[in-house]
Structure 1
């Protein structure tokens, strides 16, 4: 497989040098006519951009001929986006920017048409990594919970998985470096597995995205955008440090990047370490400690009609699995049970640009090693305790799984007037292997293949997007154990297929009101765990039994959204209704294996419905004052009128924020107060318990300052400032009566070099 990957990669290396085309121009203030410095000039499809100099001048080089989206953005001004025809030679473009208090509009990268947020037919939530860090989250999985409609199933602080509108696990697909992340994500005690260092922004597609991504995107997509390469001719570096008072945790990363006219390079290393977290009542949650090391690097080459980008990410972590309140100390070495994880991600993105079309080819190869060390109970006499301890030290991993995944995504994009069309094929080859003394899921091979076509048609005041896709998935697993034993896993040979379609319409209803309507189907083939698992999941303290008779989940979702915006007020209403046929869920059998309850997988039709509602007020003339409010709600029910498990409680978040950003100045500052109300969750599954309402208060200040003529970014954030003792409904420690994290103050410094 490695040989195939590298053969395909080297086949894309260009064999000739193309003539250069350029865009040059000047960006000025429409009111004063003064030139604007540090304005971003960017062509999303080419991933080619620059910033203006002190005279407002810019130059973009190495451009192909054709029609491409040109985006001009700058803090305090309205973002400009329009199609620009690049002709042979030098092209001129001058623009006067209009002042605006509305937040800068960003280009959406998780959908294939590279539209601005307001132009996109599909509603996509986007947050920069800087915004999420300002909220004080210790990990990336905690940070994304600040996005409306997004929650996290957590096992302590170090382990968390995204929940989008009530759907999680294999129903939410995670993309990083432009390729899907596969790391045994079916397990509840299996975290996100990505460090936030080297990630520029996060995008969330809410609802079925199977048209774009295939199986496992039934509930949505979490799309992590890697940090951009430096602009041509520039070199930069930075050091970032964070400290968390609750876990005595620290998180440090340093990066360096440099770019020539065609060749670009970047590298970033990070390390994080946290002791056990304390709850609101001052109790340390034993074995919630974790450590993580991360390395990200990238190399890119860009010519006029070809660009290629090679990225590599290595992540290694040790994660304690908390089970009970025990020893109270500040040690950082995990106790048993704990996990050792290592993940290698290699991605290659390649694009060829022709006069009226383009071809994109992305390849990814991921190796995920997951080891779990469990407590061993021996019944030796007291005089043999020393021998027992030596025996435990020599014990290998109880679980030792290696998952290797090769995936590919090839898309052809012809340009036909106002219609943008994508024809594509996507696929995956995945191998799971066991090397430990226990086997939860068997050695198996998974193969995916999908073909898709989707188009975006632009009208004067509206946009239409539609598409169709067909997918095939095959799973072949080997038998494990001795036939007749209770832990025996039979051989597996299953095939699944599905047609999916999507249509969306965006329209400017008035000058200030925009509407979106999306209808989409999605599917998810049962994963290896649901079909074949047979063993104890120590993080969940239960035995899970697979079911080879499971069918694919198939859903149909309706999304209706309205947005209002003027210079001082923005408001939105996003609603959804999601019908999921053959929803797969775990149900207790009422049996026990070695004192652990036995659960098996069942299917039943389900519905989920709800939405997100909010507004943002920044009144004139005090544009530095911001009042933001959001409310997200979701309900989930099975056909038999029982409730779905792990449905987040309704949540209301209110933020009062002040910020000052000086144009052409080298500093900014902000302060905020947030009150988040999580309401009673009484609509629970039969084996869950209700969760009481609680309020969390967060505060923060930050900005830029100069120390010895060196610009330094800083922030101080206090989460759960009143040390509230509470339990989240999505906490996997809730069944043991273990509370979530108490007061935590995060201190952050960012020093550019």
Structure 2
């Protein structure tokens, strides 16, 4: 089967063959050839590896400047900008460095290595997150300092970045802005970790690059790469979860020629109700997930195009009775949600000699149904989103890079169920921006400016004054935003970054139009059509030190938000629920993260990592903001090793994750006591004859601690979080 697919791919390469080829050799500092070095062109979505002599060759490349990254385990990554037409052959020397990792950052405009980037962006590979025994993608990213989640059991999680969540955090998947009715408390991330390579976290306003709703930050999920040129591969993985008696199965295949590439992946996850520390199960927290991903790409010397498609189906139980009927069934009960999500993206890079144009287009359909007591949906919403993103990279002027672009979105929401949370509505976004980066050697300055307009129209529905009725809506929101960043290499291992940026968020439909009982909070909520933009300014300071055996970082931030939107009680009671109305006030959030990574000589295989994070959020009247995560201190002792010829890339870890009590709560929250969770794991690549497979075994919350996270939506019912969970994973490459 693999040979047939490869033959079909080779047959297509006769179309549009380019003329530029880059070749060369890769050696270490002693001039010894390095075998298996990854050579990757991020703008072209293509790559290869060096052969047994350290040589490589990649054909069909553009005429102008193009970025290429060389990466190899145990060596510093190196990124070069080469003009293949003028420099068709190069020699690359990689410098040995066992522990420092330097990734190319895709979520920022200039796609630089993190060490070159003006903005501090956290990068985490999904493989490393999976080695920590995560139960879901959102569960994994909470291991990134400064990132938390508002959770409903193990199935629903909403990202929180430095105390901001919901529509204040923007999520990108496959390079497309994810829109899935994220205003709702029961509306989680809705992404599978299968087929995702890494996540990048921008902690702070990113409206300059992404427009409205990036006021609090961005989660940018990078999809898995295509196969190296002229190769084809397949893999199968299986994970088992003791707590939920769950399983996760994934299988994929991908292949590439010099011009064409394709991939396909499917996965299925199924879980029973999760178990708390005393052994009881939380009724109807079970869920099932089906995920399919596909991609096809083509590149030559003038253009690179990639089309990707993702279908995700979720069948989610909604816990209502807490510790009720005890069952290990995976068939969801009522009430439940059924969600079908379709994400299609088309990414194009056009090369015009010294300049390039990125033209990206996306379509998302989020089809969400809620079933109360029968298979006829009581709530049914369809959200369709079309978006575009055009960026023109001007020819470099010395060490100055300039990008100008425009972005836009057309969105429609339609209801067909008996109930309506928000009205039928349309949202249209338009934005233009420009940003520049100048490199002075040890110093880099980056600045930008942007203008946005959002126009929202909503249809009137119901009888005025009745629950579930909506007034007609026609509102426009405008905003100017800017950013300024400065990076200084004080001395070789010590770097300082200082960033000042503004961001904005237009009120969402729920905040503008709500008129009814919000089941997730047991409140009757009333919207406010007079709400203004949330507008913030945030200052960030990052200092980091890295040498061969010791690393530390300190991040501090101060975030001032004008017109922060929240709810206040009115003193009324409707439908047997207290009435809350949306209002605005200025607010501030401040705090940061700090951490160390120590791997002493001569025991370089032993690592100690420790990080601390804190955030405080207050309104101008002194009251605390809701949904602010508690302070957290995370400590890990990790060993990396190889055992003779049968285990490679081995690891073992012990982790103590300590969450402090949260006493700074809003008026309708309760305080949360602190807790500490002990976790451990081991694994690696097992070699069995000519075969090899990856194995991981993790035990999280080993002591079965009974605790309730401050941001758990089951906290008000006194329902604890998940107890002990043993996760076993196996991955076979075919």
Taking structure 1 as the reference length, the TM-score comes to: 0.94
Distance, in Å, in 2 between the alignment partners of 1:541 and 1:498 is: 34
Asked if 1:517 corresponds to 2:515, the answer is no
Q: State the Cα distance separating 1:415 from its structure 2 match.
A: 2.0
2:711 counterpart SS class = coil
Match of 2:730 in 1: 749
How many pairs does the alignment contain?
720
Asked if 1:290 corresponds to 2:270, the answer is no
Quick check: 1:280–1:724 contact (8 Å CA) kept in 2? Answer: yes
Quick check: 2:589–2:617 contact (8 Å CA) kept in 1? Answer: yes
Cα pair distance change 1:664/1:425, threshold 3 Å: farther
1:369-422: CA deviations, max 9, x gaps?
0101124xxxxxxxxxxxxxxxxx4x6111000000000001111122211111
In the alignment, which of 113, 118, 123 is matched to residue 116 of structure 1? 113
Quick check: 1:414–1:422 contact (8 Å CA) kept in 2? Answer: yes
Distance, in Å, in 2 between the alignment partners of 1:52 and 1:111 is: 29
Asked if 1:310 corresponds to 2:307, the answer is yes
Asked if 1:275 corresponds to 2:255, the answer is no
Distance, in Å, in 1 between the alignment partners of 2:577 and 2:268 is: 36
Distance, in Å, in 2 between the alignment partners of 1:539 and 1:61 is: 55
Quick check: 1:523–1:552 contact (8 Å CA) kept in 2? Answer: yes
TM alignment of 1:354-365, pairs within 5 A:
354-365=352-363
1:341-382: CA deviations, max 9, x gaps?
00111100011001110011000011110101124xxxxxxx
Distance, in Å, in 1 between the alignment partners of 2:392 and 2:643 is: 43
Asked if 1:60 corresponds to 2:40, the answer is no
Asked if 1:162 corresponds to 2:162, the answer is no
Match of 2:149 in 1: 152
Asked if 1:182 corresponds to 2:179, the answer is yes
Asked if 1:397 corresponds to 2:383, the answer is no
Q: State the Cα distance separating 1:305 from its structure 2 match.
A: 1.3
Distance, in Å, in 2 between the alignment partners of 1:541 and 1:102 is: 50
Match of 1:463 in 2: 444
Distance, in Å, in 1 between the alignment partners of 2:388 and 2:54 is: 41
Match of 1:44 in 2: 42
Match of 1:536 in 2: 517
Q: State the Cα distance separating 1:18 from its structure 2 match.
A: 6.5
Match of 2:387 in 1: 407
Distance, in Å, in 1 between the alignment partners of 2:408 and 2:643 is: 48
Quick check: 1:189–1:540 contact (8 Å CA) kept in 2? Answer: no
Flag structure 1 segments of 5+ consecutive residues without an equivalent. 1-14, 376-392
CA root-mean-square deviation: 1.7
Distance, in Å, in 1 between the alignment partners of 2:266 and 2:468 is: 42
Cα pair distance change 1:409/1:666, threshold 3 Å: farther
Cα pair distance change 1:145/1:361, threshold 3 Å: same
Match of 1:70 in 2: 68
Distance, in Å, in 2 between the alignment partners of 1:665 and 1:577 is: 50
Asked if 1:553 corresponds to 2:550, the answer is no
TM alignment of 1:16-415, pairs within 5 A:
17=16, 19-31=18-30, 33-87=31-85, 91-323=88-320, 324-375=322-373, 393=374, 396-415=376-395
Match of 1:616 in 2: 597
Distance, in Å, in 2 between the alignment partners of 1:46 and 1:414 is: 18
Match of 1:7 in 2: none
In the alignment, which of 713, 726, 734 is matched to residue 715 of structure 2? 734
1:94 counterpart SS class = strand
Q: State the Cα distance separating 1:666 from its structure 2 match.
A: 7.8
Taking structure 2 as the reference length, the TM-score comes to: 0.96
Match of 2:661 in 1: 680
TM alignment of 1:691-710, pairs within 5 A:
691-710=672-691
Q: State the Cα distance separating 1:592 from its structure 2 match.
A: 3.3
Asked if 1:577 corresponds to 2:558, the answer is yes
Quick check: 2:515–2:526 contact (8 Å CA) kept in 1? Answer: yes
Distance, in Å, in 2 between the alignment partners of 1:93 and 1:532 is: 61
Distance, in Å, in 2 between the alignment partners of 1:239 and 1:596 is: 50
TM alignment of 1:637-648, pairs within 5 A:
637-648=618-629
Cα pair distance change 1:596/1:286, threshold 3 Å: farther
Match of 1:431 in 2: 412
Distance, in Å, in 1 between the alignment partners of 2:649 and 2:566 is: 49
Quick check: 1:321–1:539 contact (8 Å CA) kept in 2? Answer: no
1:559-592: CA deviations, max 9, x gaps?
0010001110000001000000000112333433
Cα pair distance change 1:110/1:137, threshold 3 Å: same
Q: State the Cα distance separating 1:225 from its structure 2 match.
A: 0.3
Cα pair distance change 1:424/1:334, threshold 3 Å: same
**Does 484-493 or 224-233 show the bigger shift?**
484-493
Asked if 1:487 corresponds to 2:468, the answer is yes
Cα pair distance change 1:251/1:265, threshold 3 Å: same
Distance, in Å, in 1 between the alignment partners of 2:567 and 2:287 is: 28
Distance, in Å, in 2 between the alignment partners of 1:16 and 1:260 is: 12
Match of 1:9 in 2: none
Quick check: 1:421–1:456 contact (8 Å CA) kept in 2? Answer: yes
Distance, in Å, in 2 between the alignment partners of 1:718 and 1:663 is: 26
Distance, in Å, in 1 between the alignment partners of 2:521 and 2:335 is: 12
Quick check: 2:43–2:304 contact (8 Å CA) kept in 1? Answer: no
Distance, in Å, in 1 between the alignment partners of 2:581 and 2:700 is: 38
Q: State the Cα distance separating 1:708 from its structure 2 match.
A: 4.8
1:180-227: CA deviations, max 9, x gaps?
000100111100011110100011000000000000000000000000
Q: State the Cα distance separating 1:661 from its structure 2 match.
A: 5.6
Distance, in Å, in 2 between the alignment partners of 1:235 and 1:595 is: 62
Flag structure 2 segments of 5+ consecutive residues without an equivalent. 1-13
Quick check: 2:265–2:293 contact (8 Å CA) kept in 1? Answer: yes
1:103-141: CA deviations, max 9, x gaps?
321100111211001111011000001011111111111
Q: State the Cα distance separating 1:622 from its structure 2 match.
A: 1.2
**Does 590-599 or 492-501 show the bigger shift?**
590-599
Distance, in Å, in 1 between the alignment partners of 2:485 and 2:642 is: 37
Q: State the Cα distance separating 1:663 from its structure 2 match.
A: 12
1:129-174: CA deviations, max 9, x gaps?
1011111111111111000000000011000011000000000000
Q: State the Cα distance separating 1:668 from its structure 2 match.
A: 1.4
In the alignment, which of 586, 606, 630 is matched to residue 611 of structure 2? 630
Distance, in Å, in 1 between the alignment partners of 2:276 and 2:269 is: 21
Distance, in Å, in 2 between the alignment partners of 1:467 and 1:329 is: 56
1:415 counterpart SS class = coil
Q: State the Cα distance separating 1:664 from its structure 2 match.
A: 11
Distance, in Å, in 2 between the alignment partners of 1:335 and 1:673 is: 37
Q: State the Cα distance separating 1:270 from its structure 2 match.
A: 0.5
Distance, in Å, in 2 between the alignment partners of 1:714 and 1:206 is: 33
